[in-house]
Amino acid sequence: MPVAQFVRPSVLVLSGALLLTACGADASSPPSSSQPGESGYPLTLDNCGRTVEIAAPPRRAVSLSQGTTEILLSLGLADRIVGTATWTDPLPEALAEAGASVPRLADNAPSFERVLDTEPDFVSSSFSSLLGTGGVATREQFEELGVPTYLSPADCVGKDNSGDGDGVRTQAFTMETVYGEVRELARVFDVEERGEELVAELEARAARATSGIDASGVSFLYWFANSEAPYMAGCCGAPGVITDAFGAENVFDDTHEEWPQINWETVADRDPDVLVIGDLARDSQTAESAAEKIAFLESHPVTRTMTAVRNERYVLLSGQAMDPTIRTVEGIEQVAAALREHGLAE
């Protein structure tokens, strides 16, 4: 989901397939974590313009967002997570058992005090809005207490979050940024080999999904949430990765805003071939679930005549798949399957 959506209700979320087993990928449970080695510490990272020093592999980590939590779970680190928060989707089946043991501090943003109650030795977040003024706490506040923080590079590299919305992409996001995050977190927790294995698996899945598929000339629209002032994807976030993977077009590729709010008359005028819509499990916006979105589209006088609506060309994605996370690969897989199903790709 877009970055600002939990300090102010916003952004779309789509409910999910499997992280490690989506669309027929091989199922494999993440390894359980082992006692970390102490060599190579303290570790110094350059993270989103801040120097972060990790004295030893964390044993009491708090992840303030689902995206970083799923990376840690995929690295087999459930026993080192003492709290998670800001959720939009159910966990993928492959991570459900491990994730069940992780305490949920809040469905949305927890209080600073609630996080401190867990006695964390490391705090991570997918969104700068959670580690800034108006969020859970600033990075400085955690650092003053001796707690190092980590922000997903996908929310700072080539992105300007200084405005009121969900940020503006100054450079197009690529999956290499997420793969770099996986490797960095694996290094922080001293499980580098697991990080390389996870990256290799994700790369292979993306390659399989896009092999031999061409959707040139097909237009997409990505609707995250909200029926009154809908959040639609701009050109260059995670939906851009999915669109570009097939040579397709995003009807709102003329805006670099991550999730601009766009009126329905403009949406209908762009008339996409395919509607990629969030199937969210949260309850903070109007039209969160895919069922609510589809019911709205098919009954609204402006949207019901759109090409994608008349032909029922819907693709349902999790919020995590539409954000810059490891599950964006899941989004690529699911969109590939839908394009073939609808006969829109060679």
Find how far residue 111's CA is from the centre of its chain.
22
DSSP state of 215: -
DSSP string computed for 219-233? EEEEEEE-SSS-EE-
Rounded to 5°, the CA angle 298-264-107 comes to 80
Residues 45, 171, single domain; the answer is yes
Does residue 1 lie in a domain region?
A: no
In CATH, what number is assigned to the domain containing residue 222? 3.40.50.1980
CA atoms of 89 and 60, how far apart (whole Å) = 24
Residues 203, 221, single domain; the answer is no
- Which amino acid is present at 28? S
DSSP-derived pairing of the beta strands 43-47 and 50-54: antiparallel
| Cα-trace Rg, the chain | 19
- Other Cβ atoms less than 10 A from the Cβ of 146: the count is 8
Counted domains in the chain: 2
Residues 155, 272, single domain; the answer is no
User: Which of 163, 181, 208 is the endpoint of a domain?
Assistant: 208
Among 74, 69, 61, CA closest to 86: 69
Among 203, 41, 221, CA closest to 122: 41
User: Which of 181, 208, 235 is the endpoint of a domain?
Assistant: 208
Q: Walk along the chain (346 residues) and give the pLDDT tens digit of each residue.
A: 443 343 333 332 333 333 333 333 333 333 434 444 457 899 999 999 999 999 999 999 999 999 999 999 999 999 999 999 999 999 999 999 999 999 999 999 999 999 999 999 999 999 999 999 999 999 999 999 999 999 999 999 999 999 888 999 999 999 999 999 999 999 999 999 999 999 999 999 999 999 999 999 999 999 999 999 999 999 999 999 999 999 999 999 999 999 999 999 999 999 999 999 999 988 778 889 999 999 999 999 999 999 999 999 999 999 999 999 999 999 999 999 999 999 998 7
Domain that holds residue 305: 213-341
DSSP state of 257: B
Residues 245, 178, single domain; the answer is no
User: Which of 184, 208, 232 is the endpoint of a domain?
Assistant: 208
